[in-house]
Amino acid sequence: MHQLDQLKQFTTVVADTGNFKQLAQFAPQDATTNPSLILKAVQQPDYAPLLAETVAVHRGLPLDEVVDQVLVRFGLEILKVVPGRVSTEVDARLSFDTAANVARAHRIIDLYEAAGIGRNRVLIKIASTWEGIQAARILEREGIHCNLTLLFSFCQAVACGEAGVQLISPFVGRIYDWYKKSAGAKWDEAAMAGANDPGVLSVSQIYTYYKKFGIDTEVMGASFRNVGQITALAGCDLLTISPDLLAQLQASEAPIVRALDPAAAKDAPVHAVSYNEASFRYALNEDAMGTEKLAEGIRGFAVDAGKLDQMILSL
């Protein structure tokens, strides 16, 4: 049995791509997108006509509405391939505006429902800022489920659990990147691999905390740099994986053993914590990696959202 099928015994496998024509070969349960992945897709000849067609149909609408039509169109195509859910992201430029996140989420859900897709098959993807988490709290109470992204710090995960968020996406690879860059010449790749990888350690800590205290929020490791990070998190609720790494998992039959186990988490010596806005902001501020990667991630998604805007305006 190849590693991808072994992994599916412990973990729900999600495809991290806007390239829906690649999906079927990996048979993922769900799929996630973000502005960078959609931008990458529409720049390919296979998908450029889809962008042009969608923009033509909705010409005359405000730009932000056309963008949402494009995002949902990709989501609808993805849902023809995956049996589960698609994550569609709210514009990262709204990351510090609770009301704007809620309004944009409502519009995205309305577009899916108008196309015959129930809200149970859609996750609204929002940045894990304090404002984003509060938007998700509101949306979850309305039955609109959320995927809180750009999650790097333990305090973000705790706040998401307290808000009743459906799912979080801790970014394994970007955490790894920060610690590797910070260590410079002192970085020991072999010593910091597998279970010792700082991104893996972060997800393991969150998973253990959630299972220990019966928090229902799903943990979906994301942003992987190598197969070792993935196999070290076998047993996580979900893992969202790029097509390149899915192909590597398919090409190997090396054994995978379960690394994260809810039963083991129940006995972990951890204590419950809670955050209000002030303590959340202070805890995030104390985490240099979390602060820097969250800001960098929002800036990066905002740049790619702006590029998509310009592509649409040029059509």
Torsion (CA) 307, 310, 312, 315 in degrees, nearest 10: -130
CA-nearest of 73, 90, 91, 67 to 20 is: 73
| DSSP codes of every residue in 117-177 | --GGGEEEEEE-SHHHHHHHHHHHHTT--EEEEEE-SHHHHHHHHHTT-SEEEEBHHHHHH
- The CB density around residue 248, as the number of other CB atoms within 10 Å, is 17
| Residues belonging to the chain | 315
- The CB density around residue 56, as the number of other CB atoms within 10 Å, is 9
d(CA 230, CA 221): 8
- The CB density around residue 280, as the number of other CB atoms within 10 Å, is 20
Residues with catalytic annotation? 125
User: Residue holding tokens 């994301």?
Assistant: 222
